[in-house]
Homo-oligomer: A and B are copies of this chain.
Amino acid sequence: METNGSTDVLATDINQEYEVVYRKPSTLVDVAMHYCPGCAHSLVHKLIMEVVEEMDIQEQTIGVAPVGCSVFAYDYMDIDMQEAAHGRACAVATGIKRLMPEKYVFTYQGDGDLAAIGIGETLHAINRGENILIVFMNNAVYGMTSGQMAPTTLPGMWSTTTPGGRDVSFYGQPIRVSELIAQLPGSFYVTRQVVNSSNGVRKTKKALQNAFRYLQMNKGTCMVEIIGNCPSNWKMTPVECSDFIDEQMIKAFPVGDIKVPKL
């Protein structure tokens, strides 16, 4: 690994004098990810893999990748995975989980995948109370296909298919998936988080840890919605995206727990 850092310290004595307080999880494949600079997908991949490593459940975990920029998730997460058809991750996960009830099964989906074409499979899986975790990356845009409107695109927000900004009188309001599915008795734990700051990252990881633990209880579906960014299609720098999230996104998508089990 080619690295830099203060040169006066050798790796060896580093390990004597210093202790590692953060390192990339071993469950994250050591390759460069294809995501654009600053893309939240890579960050969330990392967090999920940290939890899998810490809980030591690599062998018990099966992931389902969507069609979206994170379609390649299986190239980065060092666990068994399936790549589902666009929008069908929850159906695929149902097929896996029903046959292997003892495993941890999660889907990783974008907003177009989960909330547009896949809303039916998502709702029904949750209504059945499938004991799966849905990691929902809400970046308010179709990333992979280069910037079309998503069901979560903000009112007035530009996209390649809403050149004048999203007109709610034509396309309606952005769908708040988490609030909607929290209505369903089948959902067990529903939370919305951000990852545009170290604190946000801490909370998001905690949410993911909770979710994986709840899966052990087989009490219903867990959803962790993450407000992500899409520098390339928002036409902003990653840092600008972080501000946009604080200033715009979380107004439409309030951050925090939406449904927490009383244990």
Residues of A that sit less than 8 Å from B by CB: 116-117, 119-120, 123-124, 127-129, 151, 169-173, 175, 179-180, 183-186
CA distance A171 to B124 in the complex (A): 9
CA distance A184 to B128 in the complex (A): 21
CA distance A117 to B91 in the complex (A): 13
Chain copies in the assembly? Answer: 2
Using A119-B119, A119-B120, A180-B180 as known contacts, say yes or no to A127 and B185 having CB atoms under 8 A apart.
no
Using A119-B120, A123-B119 as known contacts, say yes or no to A129 and B172 having CB atoms under 8 A apart.
yes
CA distance A183 to B117 in the complex (A): 20
In the assembled complex, the CB of A217 is this many whole angstroms from the nearest CB of chain B, namely: 13
Residue of B nearest to A124 (CB): B119
Residue of B nearest to A183 (CB): B180
A128 CB contacts on chain B under 8 angstroms:
170-172
CA distance A91 to B154 in the complex (A): 23
Interface of A, secondary structure class, is helix
CA distance A184 to B173 in the complex (A): 8
CA distance A171 to B125 in the complex (A): 9
- Most B C-beta atoms less than 10 A away, residue of A129, A171, A172: A172
A184 CB contacts on chain B under 8 angstroms:
172-173, 175, 180
A129 CB contacts on chain B under 8 angstroms:
169, 172
Residue of B nearest to A87 (CB): B120
Please state if B127 and A173 are interface contacts (CB–CB under 8 Å). yes
CA distance A169 to B116 in the complex (A): 27
* Pairs A–B under 8 Å by Cβ, sample size 26: A117-B120, A119-B119, A119-B124, A120-B120, A120-B123, A123-B123, A124-B151, A127-B151, A127-B172, A127-B173, A127-B175, A128-B171, A128-B172, A129-B169, A129-B172, A172-B184, A172-B186, A173-B184, A173-B185, A173-B186, A175-B184, A179-B183, A180-B180, A180-B183, A180-B184, A183-B183
CA distance A127 to B151 in the complex (A): 9
Q: A-B pairs with the 4 shortest C-beta distances?
A: A120-B120, A128-B172, A127-B172, A173-B185
9 more A-B residue pairs beyond the given contacts A127-B173, A172-B184, with a C-beta to C-beta distance below 8 A: A116-B124, A117-B120, A119-B119, A119-B124, A120-B120, A128-B171, A173-B184, A173-B185, A180-B184
Residue of B nearest to A121 (CB): B120
CA distance A116 to B121 in the complex (A): 10
In the assembled complex, the CB of A27 is this many whole angstroms from the nearest CB of chain B, namely: 32
CA distance A173 to B127 in the complex (A): 7
